Amino acid sequence: MPKREPYRSWFYRYFWAFILLAFIFVIYRVLNSPLPIPEDASRERDRTSSNYLEAVVLKVIDGDTLLVLVNGRKERVRLIGIDTPESSFNRKARRDVQRFKVAPEDMIEAGRRAKEFVKTLLKPGTKVKLELDVQVRDKYGRLLAYVYLPDGRMLNLLLVERGLARVYTFPPNVKYTEKFLQAQEKARERGIGFWGEIFK
């Protein structure tokens, strides 16, 4: 009876060992992978589903934009329903300067104040809760959310109340629009924040 060649015996052993390890690795990744967040900006969520995510703040990018960690994944978060002035002079800042007829340095200063205010509230490592609305992402791929501070206050609303942000609504994410508009009107009437300075 002819003997099997030794190298074939070793080859088959390593081959099946590799297949087994690959299978175990795939099963491990499936069981331990975070729940995916829809990538498609047009994807809409059912309001009856769980619209909350736990997140950890990594960095404040701007008054209305954060970098956070969600389920082990870095996400840029754009605050829903509001807009703060830019903190550096860019294309959007130029558009806002022309639109509101204000001095560029005043616009940038207002943006820096909004950013610094958010940074005092959200140090790196701060745990926050993100509430999603109907549309999950914008055209830039950013996660759209209402951000809740550890004390339960909504950051989006707080910025409007302090006169550091304007109401900036895009349907279908309109859940708190009325509340934002009421807060903005009060801030404007009292001249709070930039309403008493650059937007008179």
Does residue 131 sit in the same domain as residue 78?
yes
Helix %, strand %, coil % of the chain (to 5): 40, 20, 40
78 is catalytic: yes
Does residue 147 sit in the same domain as residue 177?
yes
Cα(165)–Cα(6) distance, integer angstroms: 74
pLDDT value at 136 more than 80: yes
When pLDDT is cut at 50, 70 and 90, the band that residue 22 belongs to is low
Cα(176)–Cα(121) distance, integer angstroms: 21
142 is catalytic: yes
The pTM score is 0.74
Distance of CA 182 to the CA centre of its chain: 24
Angle at 85 between CA 156 and CA 56, to 5 degrees: 45
Cα(30)–Cα(157) distance, integer angstroms: 38
Does residue 106 sit in the same domain as residue 170?
yes
pLDDT value at 19 more than 60: yes
pLDDT value at 6 more than 60: no
Greatest mean pLDDT among 7-11, 48-52, 83-87, 119-123 lies in 119-123
The catalytically annotated residue of 75, 113, 137, 142 is 142
Per-residue confidence (pLDDT) for residue 110, from 0 to 100: 85
Host domain of residue 24: 1-33
Contact 173, 143 (CB under 8 A): no
DSSP 89-120: -SHHHHHHHHHHT--HHHHHHHHHHHHHHHHH
**Domain contains 40:** no
Number of helices (H) and strands (E) in the chain: give both, helices first.
5, 7
**Domain contains 38:** no
DSSP 62-99: ETTEEEEEETTEEEEEEETTEEPPPSS-SHHHHHHHHH
The domain total for the chain is 2
Does residue 118 sit in the same domain as residue 151?
yes
The catalytically annotated residue of 86, 113, 137, 166 is 86
86 is catalytic: yes
Cβ atoms within 10 Å of 20's Cβ, excluding its own: 10
